[in-house]
């Protein structure tokens, strides 16, 4: 007998049993995660040393941190993108604009114009993270919108050199699957609180991903929004 054959009360009870902490965490925060798309010009390719520019489709993830339409993401997601498109959980796509960024931490703040307040991510803290605790990554993995993966906190305070010009400090290491397109998305704890922003994976490795701790994101994000406000005042 399947659940659809049971009386409605029993079916509801079984459904509640299946609604684990992970399910509740994703259900509660999913609408505050957006998908980011755009095109950018890059130099050459892996097997082309000509230096010619080519146009590529970029993708990433963002998190709504202010119901007026402010979104935090990774700067490398939107760097060089002239037309930023942001798709909300409802499926509606709107234009986004880069209002400020911090290349040192690879964080950026976007603004999208909205008519109604947007759902905001629930913010946690990264100050009390425990190695081994369950975490969830939510994002636009390989273009598959709102993909959810699960893992644990593998280590804390990692330093990661991605390129000769980009090095990250004090990262959270996780084995939750993080793929191209996850960048800028939230790392959640089991309570559905954002405790980091997914930023990088270790090339050639499996189960090694990194996130910027939320306490650092909040500090940088506040500064970036202050910069935009200052710029608006000066332009008046």
Catalytic center residues: 76, 106, 183
- Smallest CA-to-CA distance from 82 within 38, 42, 52 is with 38
Rg (CA), the chain: 19
Residue whose tokens read 């605790």: 133
CB 151 within 8 A of CB 175: yes
Distance from C-alpha of 105 to C-alpha of 212, rounded to nearest angstrom: 8
Q: Quick one: CA dihedral 128, 134, 136, 137, positive or negative? A: positive
**Helix (H/G/I), strand (E/B), else coil: 30:** helix
Q: Which value, to the nearest 10 degrees, does the dihedral of the CA atoms of residues 39, 116, 194, 101 take?
A: 40
**Helical spans, DSSP H, in the chain:** 8-18, 21-29, 75-78, 214-235
């Amino acid at each position: 007998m399947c659940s659809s054959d049971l009386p409605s009360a029993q079916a509801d009870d079984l459904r509640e049993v299946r609604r684990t902490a992970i399910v509740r965490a994703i259900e509660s925060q999913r609408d505050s995660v957006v998908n980011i798309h755009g095109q950018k010009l890059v130099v050459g390719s892996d097997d082309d040393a000509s230096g010619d520019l080519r146009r590529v489709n970029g993708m990433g993830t963002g998190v709504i941190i202010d119901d007026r339409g402010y979104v935090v993401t990774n700067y490398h997601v939107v760097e060089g993108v002239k037309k930023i498109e942001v798709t909300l959980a409802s499926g509606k796509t709107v234009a986004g604009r880069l209002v400020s960024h911090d290349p040192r931490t690879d964080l950026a703040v976007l603004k999208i114009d909205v008519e109604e307040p947007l759902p905001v991510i629930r913010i946690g803290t990264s100050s009390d993270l425990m190695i081994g605790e369950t975490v969830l990554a939510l994002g636009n993995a390989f273009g598959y919108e709102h993909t959810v993966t699960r893992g644990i906190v593998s280590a804390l305070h990692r330093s990661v050199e991605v390129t000769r010009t980009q090095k990250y400090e004090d990262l959270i290491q996780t084995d939750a699957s993080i793929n191209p397109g996850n960048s800028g998305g939230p790392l959640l704890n089991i309570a559905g609180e954002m405790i980091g922003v997914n930023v990088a994976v270790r090339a050639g490795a499996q189960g090694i991903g990194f996130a910027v701790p939320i306490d650092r994101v909040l500090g940088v994000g506040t500064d970036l929004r202050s910069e935009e406000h200052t710029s608006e005042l000066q332009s008046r």
